[in-house]
Amino acid sequence: MQSSIRTPGCIWAKLIEQNNEKARKPESKGDAYVFFVGPRNSGKSTLINRFLYPNRLEIPKPSEGLEYTYARKPSSYDHERKDLAHIWEVGGSQEFAEEISKGDQMFLTAKQLSTAVVVVVIDLSDPSSVLSTALYWIDQVKKRLGSAYEKFAKRGFDLPEKLKDRAKNKLFGKEHRDKDLVYHSGISLVLAATKYDMLSEMDPEMKKVVARTLRFLAHANGAHLMYMSNLHANAEGRSSSQDKTCLDSFTKLMNHLIFTGLDKKPTLKTPQLDHQLPLMILAGSDKFSDIGRPKGAVDDNVAAGLQEWCELYEKMFPPKDTSSTAASKKKSSKLIIDDQFKDEEIDSIKERKMSELEVFRKDQEIAKEVARKHLLMAKAQAQASNKETGTNGVGTKSNNAGPKASSGKVAVPALGATNGVTANKVVNSSAISGQKTASVKPKTQAAPTAAAFS
């Protein structure tokens, strides 16, 4: 029986061979998690669109809030399966981006760390915001990773060290001089500098400062640095060969980071380190000695070198004063809707509802004023009635037998008495002024004596 099963060409032999092949195949690396972050109008949506759909002509609308898409590709380990990449774009206001980056449910969670890719998009057409944007998001990545790594360490897992060692060995290798000076995050970090065409006409010395500062920052944090330009023209077929090369290099890098990961070092056909041309530098391919320091120092103090470059950059491109902007935001909390989202029918309904709400508020104010005047009139009438009752001694046998004025109690003849019997009830005059008192139901009995009120 066993010899018949293992006969070459029979169905049983084929099934056994297929099972053996599956057992020899490595497991899939799992889903990838990609985050595109950066300021408004920096080109995040366009960059994602060019990456996913290189030939699509339409220009995407600006994103608001958190937007999701995905990408699939046949697995490099098993062509019968497809690898999945979850792609998130963090758009909208700076306050919203801070909420996303500080939370532990969406951005760089424990589940995402081994396959995470963060793309920090910076706008070269606004040099004054380039450095602050890059520093801010690198700092947010470090904080989130520090929090996640700390949780693994408390549980006794060595995953953080494995991820850092993987990045160090695959990207820098054993021979790189700066391998122990660089911060290895353990994830894939990309600085994507868009709109280089707006920077190309800048003074060469200023371009040099921009390039050297970004090179030093990227190298110190184990990040890839890629310049891009004319992303819209790429879709419309008006781009130059240089623009296409930049976009193709970025697309190839992203495909590698997402679907292959850091288990294998990425490569680039045409790396570019010249500040006069668009930079295309992979992590681990630069050196601090090649970048240099503004003050000419040659030590291994990375923090001091970064500080020198940041100071020089901010002198050349002073940061914008955001204090007035922040103050105006605090003063005005009114929701402003962009023109592209306006709808005439909805806007007319909104205006009608707002006018109805304003009329309702005015009616409520008038009603409150009328109620207040009625209450004052009722109090005045009650006081006048109390004075008149206290003077005439109504409902008492004699002035001496009646209730004392200071007690606030007045004997009032009750209606409905029969058989000539007078029924009185005690009324607390303080109830008229709003005080809570216990009421006494009238009983059909003889009128109480003066002692009953003492």
Give me 335's structure tokens. Answer: 């929701």
Burial class of residue 424 in the structure, from the number of CB atoms within 10 Å of its CB (0-12 exposed, 13-18 middle, 19+ buried): buried
Q: Considering the domain boundaries, does residue 407 fall inside one?
A: no
Q: Residue 408, by phi and psi: left (phi above 0), alpha (psi -120 to 50) or beta?
A: left
Q: Considering the domain boundaries, does residue 386 fall inside one?
A: no
Calculate the CA dihedral of residues 193, 197, 198, 199 and round it to 10 degrees.
70
Query: How many domains does the chain contain in total?
Result: 1
What does the pLDDT average to over 255-263?
93
Beta bridge partner(s), residue 68: 88
Query: Chain centroid to CA 103: how far?
Result: 8
| Tens of pLDDT, residues 129-172 | 999 999 999 999 999 999 999 999 999 999 999 999 999 999 99
Q: Considering the domain boundaries, does residue 259 fall inside one?
A: yes
Whole-number percent of the chain with pLDDT over 90: 46
Q: What is the largest CA-CA distance in the chain?
A: 130
Confidence at residue 171, expressed as pLDDT on a 0 to 100 scale: 95
> Residue 372 — very low, low, confident or very high, per pLDDT cuts 50/70/90?
confident
The 10 Å Cβ neighbour count of residue 160 is 18
Per-residue DSSP letters for 44-92? Answer: HHHHHHHHH-TT--SPPPPP-SEEEEEEEEE-SS-TTSEEEEEEEEE-S
Q: Considering the domain boundaries, does residue 113 fall inside one?
A: yes
Confidence at residue 232, expressed as pLDDT on a 0 to 100 scale: 72
Of the two residues 103 and 51, the one the predictor is more confident about is: 51
Q: Considering the domain boundaries, does residue 142 fall inside one?
A: yes
Question: Rounded to 5 degrees, what are φ and ψ at 57?
Answer: -90, -30
Confidence at residue 99, expressed as pLDDT on a 0 to 100 scale: 87
Q: Considering the domain boundaries, does residue 257 fall inside one?
A: yes
pLDDT of 404 over the 60 cut: no
Q: Considering the domain boundaries, does residue 68 fall inside one?
A: yes
> Residue 24 — very low, low, confident or very high, per pLDDT cuts 50/70/90?
low
d(CA 26, CA 21): 10
CATH (domain of 148): 3.40.50.300
Q: Considering the domain boundaries, does residue 351 fall inside one?
A: no
Which pTM value belongs to this model?
Answer: 0.67
Which residues form the domain of 297? 30-316
pLDDT of 100 over the 80 cut: yes
Cβ(187)–Cβ(140) below 8 Å: no
